[in-house]
Structure 1
Amino acid sequence: MGLEFIHAYGGRRFTTYPPQPLMWGDETNAEDETPKVNIEYELPGDDWKPVTVRVPERWKPQDWPDRPVRFIDGKDQGDTITALTSADGYPVAVRLSEIGAVVVRVDHGECRREHAVTEKVVSMVADVFPWEEVEGFASALQHAGMRLLTARTLDGQPSYQFETMRRAAEHRSRDEMFELETSVLTLGRDPSIVDGPLESRLGGPEAADWPVFGVIKSHRQVYLHELGMQVLYRIKPGQRTPAFSLPNEKLPVVSWYVRLAGGPGTMPDWGLVRVEAPLRWFERAGNWDVIDLLSRTLYDYRCRDGGYRRAPVSLHPIVRAEELLGVLCTPAKLLASRFYHLTGL
């Protein structure tokens, strides 16, 4: 069975819709567990206060020979395009995406593309179908320039909740995007910045020895104690919090917050990013100045485009990387139209 797999299990066109809440209960998400944090990595917890970054007068990032010069970003552009029903009645969301990753190098203040890769993928929970039929479908997709990604729910069991199955497909394509980011990141060993947490992009114990930094714009976890949260909201643009460590993560990191933008009339959490560096690399380097130098570099590289929606928490080289990926990827509606034509939906 090839592309007719879609019709055999009741495939139909879908209208794009926003993600829905789960109808019954919720999934257990490991990311919601309380993280283990060493708040006193740089200062005792009771001594926390805003830290003014210390750099020489008239300093600029180009004066730092070990400054990050590679900026890595990824893109997962897609949506649920059809739904299937297995023989056991499971509702299976099928997601079509184009995923990609790019490296932008900053040389003499100019951004240029160093590496880029894109791939068209179809993701779904597949183990509710006969495997020989799934293999036939995957082969037909491959001939059409797409790759099938088999997804699993968080607990590894199929669900009769469609939203759970949709999220599984979405998470699978996102994870594959992280793999692409890792693949382009590892093409060079110069100091680099990735747009997001390091744990998702770095694999293997050797990754802990790289000068790679993560800049996180979305804050889903509370890492700080009560005084730490008060300090976080008090830091001014260019200032940072004291550093803390996350020692028990898959990839132990040292972390801190920097405010890239803000001022009178802005919300307390405006312009805040969290920064990560591999803990082992940082401690082997033994240079605490890195935290201040990197914080100032991020502040100087902040996006100043007032028309860009996420400018307060974005870096100019990362914005440039997003633009490059946008050009390389097929528009989502066109991609869906091609899939419908290919499958006859």
Structure 2
Amino acid sequence: MIKQRRHFHSFNALRFVSFLLVFIHHIPVNETSFLSYFTKTGGVGVSFFFSLSGFLITYILLAEKLEQNKISLKHFFIKRILKIWPLFYAMLLFAYLTPFFLDYSNLPSSSDGYKPNWWYSVFFLENYQMLFTKDFPNVSPLRVMWSLCVEEHFYLIWGFTLFLLPVKKLPKLILFCIFLAFFVRIIYFKYEILSIDIFSNIDYFAFGAIPAYLLATKNNILHLINNISLKTKYSIIPIILVCIIIFPLFNESILRFITPTIYGFLFSTLILFTLSSRNSILINDKYVISKLGIYTYGLYLYHTIFINLFIQLFKNSAIEMKNVLIAISSLIVTIVISILSYHLFEKRFLNWKRYFNP
């Protein structure tokens, strides 16, 4: 039996911050508002999710392989299924039934985007339908599910790869993934292909895998990071935040090709700063931001539903600061529904994960 997994403090808080970036990206914002700058950083939130996932999945697999000299792919995939599939397919059912409900209620439906091909949706291929059509599905929450498809593809690739690959060769794999994504994005840009598949995003996961490898193998680099003072680490955080805000503004320049690599490096650095045995950046689990981070999966899947709902409710309203009211209302309702969803639905499946430990 593998020893109890390490709990990574601060990760729930980081997840919630990532969700907020995505949320702000989707709310209606006046072009003159200071929040309009943050609407361009929504992709950063998704990318950080990828890096966090890359860290956690890599660490779980490496810890098991180093302790038991093998990886149980059966247990690994079952636990991923219990976490992702129940709410994913519940939301697919919701998306499938929504047009029928709107038609029955004589309510307007969105004419923007394509009508989903449910075979793509069911088999986690929504991102490829978006890629082929160069458009988005016309119903929520399918528009954000492309990232979950990328996550599922990562689980498959990374699970089998780490099962077969010797641990000492992982750094070469990480380096390969970083270069692969860089060149794939250049090719996609040339042919006007959306960067929404695993190959154009795998570097984010790889950058997350770097601190996982250093931690699992007790690499000396981690000891060097431990010696960096807490004051220095906190002084670097504002630099990371400024980069996150500024770099999307250079989207039309040559920087568009290296920005993801810079982001990946910053994400990896931030994760490393939370792992140190001393002088670590710690966001206590008792903080509200950390507690809300527990419900990030639901928050991510539900938020566009309620944003669109409140946009329709206030569409003909002459209320001043209407967009602010839409944002606050949709955020509050999303949080409440996500909490209920987690405790009444998702947790029933998550509790089964304990039966599939190595």
Q: TM-score, normalised by structure 2?
A: 0.26
Higher strand share: 1
Higher relative contact order (CA 8 A, sep 6+): 2
Q: Which has the larger radius of gyration?
A: 1
Q: TM-score, normalised by structure 1?
A: 0.27
More helix as a share of residues: 2
